[in-house]
Structure 1
Amino acid sequence: MMATSEEESGEETATDTEPEVLTGDHFMMGDTACAEGAIAAGCRFFAGYPITPASEVAERISQRFPGLPDAQYIQMEDEIASIAAVVGGSNAGKKSMTATSGPGVSLMNENIGLAAITETPCVIVNVQRGGPSTGMPTLPGQGDVMQARYGSQGDYPMIAYAPGSPQEMFDLTVEAFNAAERYRTPVIVLADQTVGHMTGKVSIPDSVETVDRPRPDDEIEPETFLPYDNSVQVPPMAAAGEGGRVHVTGLTHDERGHPDIDVDTHEKMLGRMMDKIDDNREEICRVQRYRLDDADVALIAYGSMSRSARDAVDQLRADGVDAGLFRVITPWPFPIDEIEALSAAVDRIVVAEMNLGQYVTPVRAHAACPVDAHTHPGGAIPRPDEVADTVREVIR
């Protein structure tokens, strides 16, 4: 077969005519919207490995990056190499991301921990599917919500966003990059197959607010520069090659980045890493309330499950049950204050999720009222009437 150039064929690729940010209204798949959100946020390095149901994110990036200045897409040999490349790309100064599903995150977790301890901003998109293991590649699940928080070993902070629509796949990917850059930390977009493969209206504004990581002054003094300065919550981050003499290691390290296996050093390093997220929970945590003002029972849901839960609330209201929805947009850090306030205002909480009871555990730990669960092993979103039936049963 003879190859024909674009000039010879007269055909144009999308990148020949498309601007960097595709402003306006679009009819777009969630995975595609995620890719566009990353581009709008300034992502210019992507490393990944194909996996259902996240492959469309990488596919869209691979189509768009050739038309963007200084953008690089690499298909790696596996997920371990993908996240390692993302950590490296970010340390080279690029806003970096990967996209995968639960089995891929399982392989990435060691280097997600590396990103956490080295305070490397990056975004990991997990389009969840039914698990465990290979599970159900083409069907939805929410079984990775605890993996997102505790997948790697040790203590480290985590921010995760759970989009519930193609529009939020765009919006929350932008927010994920902004949070990663603002706090110098890995951030997870915790989507699922339903939202990733859902097609709907996506409005991209003319101006997208973006955040860049704190950078050192123009004149870096190699002898005095502290890439992990404990006197500030988020130290300036120098890119490799800028003269900052940066040492990047997964070992416990001092403010210079040099290994220092010392209890006091470890406590200071880890304390600052945790505090920069914990002290900013009010700014980071996002929830959405629906019909909760006079509610006696509250449903808690996140991601695509919140769509079914919202309809369940309307069904219950039609039957005279004073129900409301508390939608968690940022599962992590856990919205402690918001859950405590909710549990003080209602008589009972029901957590609805597509797993066998994961997020309900921290809810029970912080709620002052009885907490029940509507669980499902994944593979399909529970119908609104099924969720409503659970609520009716527990309030009898």
Structure 2
Amino acid sequence: MTSRLEFWQGNIASAEGALAAGCRFFGGYPITPSTEIAEHMAAKLPKRGGVFIQMEDELASIASVIGASWTGARAMTATSGPGFSLMMENIGYAAMTETPCVIVNVQRGGPSTGQPTMAAQGDMMQCRFGSHGDYAIIALCPASVQEMYDLTAKAFNLADKYRVPVFLMTDEVIGHMRERIIVPDAVEHTGRPAFVPGTLPFKPGANLVPGFPEFGKGYGTHVTGLTHDERGYPCATNPGLHASLVKRLVDKIELATQDLADFDVVNPDAEQVFIAYGAPVRTVQQVIHDHPDRKIGFLRVRTVWPFPAHALALFKNARRFIVPELNLGQIAREIERHTKVPVTSVPKLGGELHTPGELYAAWEAGA
């Protein structure tokens, strides 16, 4: 396999990663700081035989993505916090109907309109729990322009394999920065689980995931957000059926946590360990670079949901986990659920990254 070198903005890299992965439908609505993704897809998709539609709002955007996915297309949208909030009802519908799709959220400061041009990580719990009911999803967090490309492409494979919405939870810093990137000639393409004619459309197969019957292929498939049986028929008053269905929607993701896990471990014998995802990863890396004489542990997480709790045990000497986030400590609270090691949250609001000095001071306070 050959490759080429490019100098791209993060949002452009995400769009190019989607195109390389075979995305052929984009339904979206412009919103800062994600608009460059839509603009790039509008220019490029028609040349690849795909379809770009600017919808009237974000709720319609995710609805169009769900419809396109059921025709067999790899489909995506991109947005930021306010648009993400509008999408939540249909994200729940996609989880219930097991619709594979990719949603890029270039996070900015909130609540409400907040800081349209500044970075944040305030939507991390919303992507996991934002829609009503119990379900599970997958969320990836890039920390470089290269990863904007690579993880967007990976998101489509995961969406197809598990028949689930997959989120690329990036932020304004990564979305708007420009870096060198190595672009491969091709990316891995994993298809959806095959539907076997004559079987029931929502009967789980391998890994608790049903085969996917595309619209237009002659299969009689009923798709509903109501509690449904394996035929897809509504059966909303059966307590046992509802419990079984929802448990499967959760288990097909949560039981695959170790397979989905994507993280790096630095200095596993360290006593003080940073845990970071997204843009703060870069500041932690700078701290480690600036202090080679100090044993600074680092768990760098790419797949945040489902959270790879088993990775915490790799730091056997840890006596403190330090979690810098561009929010008030959302994933820090998740980490606290899985460990007896004290967790120090290092929150930052306002749209700017932590400085290396701020993070080193947090580490040194426990040295």
Amino acid of the structure 1 residue aligned with 2:312:
I
- Distance, in Å, in 2 between the alignment partners of 1:345 and 1:260 is 51
In structure 2, the partner of 1:244 is 219
Contact 2:59/2:86 (<8 A) preserved: yes
TM-score normalised according to structure 2 size:
0.96
Match of 1:76 among 55, 67, 77: 55
In structure 2, the partner of 1:226 is 200
- Distance, in Å, in 2 between the alignment partners of 1:141 and 1:314 is 24
Question: 1:207 offset after TM fit, Å?
Answer: 2.8
Contact 2:104/2:168 (<8 A) preserved: yes
TM-score normalised according to structure 1 size:
0.89
Paired-residue identity, %: 46
Match of 1:339 among 295, 312, 324: 312
Matched, 1:148 2:123: no
In structure 1, the partner of 2:229 is 254
Amino acid of the structure 1 residue aligned with 2:10:
G
Question: 1:62 offset after TM fit, Å?
Answer: 0.6
Contact 2:274/2:298 (<8 A) preserved: yes
Contact 2:20/2:186 (<8 A) preserved: no
Contact 2:204/2:211 (<8 A) preserved: no
Aligned-pair Cα RMSD in Å: 1.4
Question: 1:32 offset after TM fit, Å?
Answer: 0.3
Question: 1:339 offset after TM fit, Å?
Answer: 2.0
Match of 2:243 among 263, 267, 271: 267
Question: 1:23 offset after TM fit, Å?
Answer: 5.1
In structure 2, the partner of 1:16 is none
Amino acid of the structure 1 residue aligned with 2:202:
Y
In structure 1, the partner of 2:353 is 381
- Distance, in Å, in 1 between the alignment partners of 2:45 and 2:343 is 47
Contact 1:355/1:375 (<8 A) preserved: yes
In structure 1, the partner of 2:20 is 40
Match of 2:279 among 267, 286, 304: 304
Question: 1:346 offset after TM fit, Å?
Answer: 1.2
In structure 1, the partner of 2:151 is 172
CA shift digits 1:10-41 (9 cap, x unpaired): xxxxxxxxxxxx95211111000000000111
- Distance, in Å, in 1 between the alignment partners of 2:230 and 2:161 is 19
More displaced, 162-171 or 322-331? 322-331
Amino acid of the structure 2 residue aligned with 1:100:
T
- Distance, in Å, in 1 between the alignment partners of 2:290 and 2:336 is 25
Matched, 1:161 2:140: yes
Matched, 1:288 2:271: no
SS in structure 2 opposite 1:380?
Answer: coil
CA shift digits 1:309-362 (9 cap, x unpaired): 1112334444xx4212111111100111112333x3312111111111111001
- Distance, in Å, in 2 between the alignment partners of 1:229 and 1:308 is 46
In structure 2, the partner of 1:329 is 302
Contact 1:23/1:204 (<8 A) preserved: yes
Amino acid of the structure 1 residue aligned with 2:24:
R
Match of 2:34 among 51, 54, 58: 54
- Distance, in Å, in 2 between the alignment partners of 1:123 and 1:213 is 14
Contact 2:58/2:86 (<8 A) preserved: yes
SS in structure 1 opposite 2:283?
Answer: helix
Match of 2:105 among 118, 122, 126: 126
Structure number with larger C-alpha Rg: 1
Question: 1:294 offset after TM fit, Å?
Answer: 3.3
Amino acid of the structure 1 residue aligned with 2:34:
A
Amino acid of the structure 1 residue aligned with 2:201:
P
Unaligned runs of 5+ in 2: none
Q: In the TM superposition, what are the counterparts of 1:5-24 in structure 2 within 5 Å?
A: 24=4
Contact 1:297/1:350 (<8 A) preserved: yes
In structure 1, the partner of 2:252 is 276
SS in structure 2 opposite 1:56?
Answer: helix
CA shift digits 1:234-286 (9 cap, x unpaired): 11111112221111111110001111121111122112222211221111011
Corresponding pairs, count: 364
Question: 1:293 offset after TM fit, Å?
Answer: 3.3
